[in-house]
Amino acid sequence: MKIEKQEALERLSKIESPFLTVFKHGTLSTEVYKPEKVDLQKPHTRDEVYVVISGSGIFYNDGTRTSFSTGDFLFVKAGLEHRFEDFTDDFSTWVIFYGPEGGEKE
């Protein structure tokens, strides 16, 4: 299976939401996410991975801020506060949720 980024972003642009689920299988769920100006997301109940499609900015993850750009891989443990800050207008990312509620055990 293949999901093209441009097709996913076009589908997202036709709805009034900053995210769209594009794939599900078992505990795996993949979304495309493109917030406008401010990232309002809250902590999630499962572990998640972001793979940046385009753009750059700052990623806040549990008290730590780091820069990000196109192609970067970002991981967030379940339940942690996180958000994208000071991101460019072209910012978009894949969001991949997986595993059990509460996150994987280390």
- Based on the structure, what is the number of domains in the chain? 1
Burial state string for 5-28 with b = 16 or more CB within 10 A and e = fewer than 16 = eeebeeebeeeeebebebeeeeee
Which residue range is the domain that position 55 belongs to?
A: 5-98
DSSP notation for 46-82: SEEEEEEEE-EEEEEETTEEEEEETT-EEEE-TT--E
User: What tens digit of pLDDT does each residue of 61-97 get?
Assistant: 999 999 999 999 999 999 999 999 999 999 999 999 9
* 76 domain residue, yes or no: yes
**Listed residue (39, 26, 32) closest to 5, CA to CA:** 32
Q: CA 53 to CA 73: how far, in whole Å?
A: 10
Q: How confident is the model at residue 106 (pLDDT cuts 50, 70, 90)?
A: confident
CATH number assigned to the domain comprising residue 76: 2.60.120.10
Q: What is the pLDDT of residue 88?
A: 98
Under 8 Å CB-to-CB from 53, ≥6 apart: which residues?
5, 9, 32, 70, 92, 93, 94
Q: What is the pLDDT of residue 94?
A: 98
Q: In one letter, which amino acid is 5?
A: K
Q: What is the pLDDT of residue 48?
A: 98
Q: Is the pTM of this model over 0.75?
A: yes
Q: What is the pLDDT of residue 7?
A: 97
* 103 domain residue, yes or no: no
> What's 8's DSSP letter?
H
User: What tens digit of pLDDT does each residue of 26-53 get?
Assistant: 999 999 999 999 999 999 999 999 999 9
